[in-house]
């Protein structure tokens, strides 16, 4: 199939279409950064107001789950990047395998996150009656923990849907991976979700453990 088959209206030129898709995604990523910036700002303000509470609460998150999940998500970004490179080199079979790997790693992240949530709930780490840490501000830390990881998990889910779309659409037409801009667009989004996690990880899992 020739590349011009991937032209969508109103485009006349595939390269231009790719540029527009990439630019559009970058603009959208700017929007996503500002979305999380609201959370980062809130977290910073409250950490400044209640350093002791944030320190005490930050020790209660599960460092094992957090660290393993960080490794998993970063590996998924690696496989995603390799999928892009292999697709450009027209090694479509390899690209599809790498997309499968990305999808599996993303799913694994969510499953582990679910187990982590179960452990958190067992430890009553939900602000409200029965919340175990009495230092002021600890409950605020956990409000942000739940909202931040929840919104991030929603983004991972959205990313998984996008990766699944790549896998399904390229099933009968593997060249689509290189011809349309979709792989690159999905990859950009996936990497952003990964990078957001790289900020969340120290905020939620490491900051409380800085003073031994």
* Chain positions contacting another protein, by CB under 8 A: 9-10, 16, 19-21, 23-24, 27-28, 30-32, 34-39, 41-42, 45-46, 49-50, 53, 127-128, 136-137, 139-140, 142-144, 146-147, 151
Of 27 and 168, nearer to another protein (C-beta) is 27
Q: Is 206 exposed, middle or buried (0-12, 13-18, 19+ CB in 10 A)?
A: middle
Q: From the CB of residue 73, how many other CB atoms can be counted at a distance below 10 Å?
A: 23
CB of 72 to another protein, least distance (A): 26
CB of 25 to another protein, least distance (A): 8
Are 114 and 108 within 8 A, CB to CB? Answer: no
CB of 151 to another protein, least distance (A): 7
Of 46 and 65, nearer to another protein (C-beta) is 46
CB of 36 to another protein, least distance (A): 7
- Break the chain down into helix, strand, coil percent, rounded to 5: 80, 0, 20
Of 67 and 154, nearer to another protein (C-beta) is 154
Query: Distance between CA atoms of 174 and 190, rounded to whole angstroms?
Result: 20
Query: Distance between CA atoms of 166 and 170, rounded to whole angstroms?
Result: 6
Of 5 and 49, nearer to another protein (C-beta) is 49
Of 35 and 198, nearer to another protein (C-beta) is 35
Query: Distance between CA atoms of 169 and 8, rounded to whole angstroms?
Result: 15
CB of 16 to another protein, least distance (A): 6
Query: Distance between CA atoms of 31 and 27, rounded to whole angstroms?
Result: 7
CB of 28 to another protein, least distance (A): 5
Query: Distance between CA atoms of 195 and 212, rounded to whole angstroms?
Result: 26
Of 103 and 144, nearer to another protein (C-beta) is 144
């Amino acid at each position: 199939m020739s590349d011009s088959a991937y032209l969508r209206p109103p485009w006349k030129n595939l390269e231009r279409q790719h540029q527009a898709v990439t630019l559009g995604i970058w603009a959208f990523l700017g929007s996503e950064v500002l979305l999380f910036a609201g959370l980062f700002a809130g977290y910073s303000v409250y950490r400044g107001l209640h350093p002791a509470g944030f320190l005490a609460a930050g020790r209660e998150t599960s460092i094992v789950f957090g660290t393993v999940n960080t490794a998993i998500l970063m590996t998924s970004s690696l496989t995603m990047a390799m999928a892009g490179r292999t697709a450009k080199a027209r090694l479509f079979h390899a690209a599809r395998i790498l997309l499968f790997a990305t999808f599996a790693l993303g799913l694994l992240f969510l499953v582990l996150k679910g187990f982590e949530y179960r452990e958190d709930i067992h430890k009553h780490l939900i602000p409200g009656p029965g919340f175990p840490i009495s230092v002021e501000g600890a409950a605020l830390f956990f409000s942000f923990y739940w909202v931040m990881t929840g919104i991030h998990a929603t983004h991972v889910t959205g990313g998984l849907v996008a990766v699944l779309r790549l896998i399904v659409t390229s099933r009968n037409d593997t060249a689509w991976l290189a011809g349309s801009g979709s792989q690159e667009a999905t990859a950009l989004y996936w990497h952003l979700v990964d990078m957001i996690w790289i900020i969340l990880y120290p905020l939620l899992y490491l900051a409380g453990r800085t003073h031994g």
